[in-house]
Amino acid sequence: MEEIKLIVASRNPVKIECAEKGFSKVFPKSKILARGIAVASGVADQPMTDAETLEGAKNRAENAKASEPEADFWIGIEGGIAEPSSTMEAFAWVYIISKDRNGKARTASFDLPPKIQALIHEGIELGVADDMVFDRSNSKQKSGAVGILTHDLINRAQYYEPAVILALIPFVNTELY
C-alpha cells in the first residue's frame, strides 16, 4: 500500500481529521499519514473577507511546505467571515499543495446569528463568540459554529471534508490541470 505523507497546517484536531478523511476518500488505496503542525496564516486571527480567508489558507499551506518539505501534500484550512449583504456569513477555504501543483475549494457558507455578529463586530473571533453565546469551551476544536447551529447534524470536520475533496480535483485529474 502506497503511503501519502500529508502535513496539515494546523494542530487543530478538527482540521487534521477532515484532511485525513478527505484524502482517504480520494486516495482509497493509499495509507494517509497526516500530521498537524503550527504555522502562521499571515492574516488576521479572524479573517473578515473571502480574499483574506483564501490568502490565509494558501499561506498556511506554503508555510507548512517550507517547514516540512519532505511531505507529499500540504494543506491549509482557514475559516473566515464575510458580509456580502445584510448578513454575516461563515465559511472556510481549503488550499492544497503538492510538489508540482495546487488546488483550492471553498466550503458552503451559512449566516451567523445576530448575537454572534455583534461580538465579531467588537473584534471577537468566531470561536470565542460561539463559546460566549452558547456557554461552551473551545468549540472551534470540536463541532464549531456549524455544529452548534445545526444541532450537530453537520460538525466542523464534516463541513470541511467536501472542500478537501474538491480541492483535490487537480491532483486526480492531472491531464486536465
**CA–CA separation, 112 and 79 (whole Å):** 13
Sequence-distant (6+) residues with CB within 8 A of 19 are 6, 8, 34, 75, 77, 164
Residues making up the annotated binding site for Mg(2+) are 70
**Could you tell me which residues are annotated as the binding site?**
70-71
CB-based contact 94:76 (threshold 8 Å):
yes
Q: Which amino acid is at 66?
A: A
DSSP classification of residue 175: T
Query: Binding site membership for substrate: which residues?
Result: 70-71
Residue that is written with C-alpha cell 461552551 in the block: 136
Strand 110-111 to 89-97 pairing: antiparallel
